[in-house]
Amino acid sequence: MKLRGILAPYFAVAIRFIFLLVIYALLRWGFYLLNASFFHYVNNAKLVVMFGGGLRFDIVALLYLNILYIVIQTVPGPFIANPTYQRISKWIFVLVNSLGIALNLIDYAYYPFTLKRTTGTVLSQFSNESNLFKLAFDFCLDYWYLLLVFALFVYGLSKSYRLIQLEKPKSYSWKSFFVQLPFFLLTAFLFIGGVRGGWAHSTRPITLSNAGDYVDTPEEMNIVHNTPFSILKTLKAVSLKPVHYY
């Protein structure tokens, strides 16, 4: 599909973002299916509510992960349709979203042991490990099927990106710039509302606890969450250290 016109980059970003939301919905479905034995009282009606609520958390995580990509694809300028610029943008898009997919898939395996989504404390937990390579290798051996799923998702990301191409405009003028500028500002407005969970002055930034609005029990919040969101929102968590007075 070739998108034409000076507003083509904004449509391309919107289409790709919707595609990412579909991927995260599939990842949530897979997470539930593999760990359904831990959610005894979840029925189809509850799942619909959880998936609807999970959309808010997916939007936040994807906006944070794709902030660089969104900026370089929506900033007004004649360079956006340049082939080299688009190749760089593509690899930024594929790499950051591959990371998000990988983090979600890791919890497919670890949730039965931790009974929670991975959080930012994982960085401190593994900071003193001297055999990280061996741990990663063993994980890949034990959960080889997750590597296959990961490869399929990454292939889908790359393939879907190539399906949407921007046609380079024949000319670019100050008029083009001033047409794009309001859409860039609109993108910034939507971004701020998206990461906060709303635009109302009283709206507080969305946190892990907001998942409680869509569930009946605390453990069900793990279905609503996604792992990148869980990590991003707990990176500043302070681990308490023992204090010795004597």
Task: Give per-residue pLDDT as tens, 146-186.
Answer: 999 999 999 999 999 989 988 887 888 889 899 999 999 99
The answer to whether residue 238 scores a pLDDT higher than 50 is no
pLDDT value of position 241? 54
pLDDT tens-digit map of 87-143: 999 999 999 999 999 999 999 999 999 899 998 887 666 666 667 777 777 888 888
Q: What average pLDDT does the segment 207-236 reach? A: 93
% residues pLDDT > 90 (the chain): 66
pLDDT value of position 123? 67
pLDDT value of position 167? 83
Q: Measured between alpha carbons, how far is 204 from 144 in angstroms, rounded to an integer?
A: 40
pLDDT value of position 6? 86
Give me the half-sphere count of Cα atoms (radius 13 Å) on the Cβ side of residue 77: 9
pLDDT value of position 242? 55
- Three-state SS letters, the chain: CEECCCCHHHHHHHHHHHHHHHHHHHHHHHHHHHCHHHCCCCCHHHHHHHHHHHHHHHHHHHHHHCHHHHHHHHCCCCCCCCHHHHHHHHHHHHHHHHHHHHHHHHHHHHHHHHCCCCCCCHHHHCCCCCCHHHHHHHHHHHCHHHHHHHHHHHHHHHHHHHHCEECCCCCCCHHHHHHHHHHHHHHHHHHHHHHHCCCCCCCCCCCHHHHHHHCCCHHHHHHHCCHHHHHHCCCCCCCCCCCCCC
pLDDT interval class at 243 (50, 70, 90): low
pLDDT value of position 121? 80
Whole-Å CA distances, 37 to 42, 54, 107, 149: 10, 20, 15, 21
- For the record, the structure tokens of 198 come out as 């709303």
Q: What average pLDDT does the segment 195-203 reach? A: 75
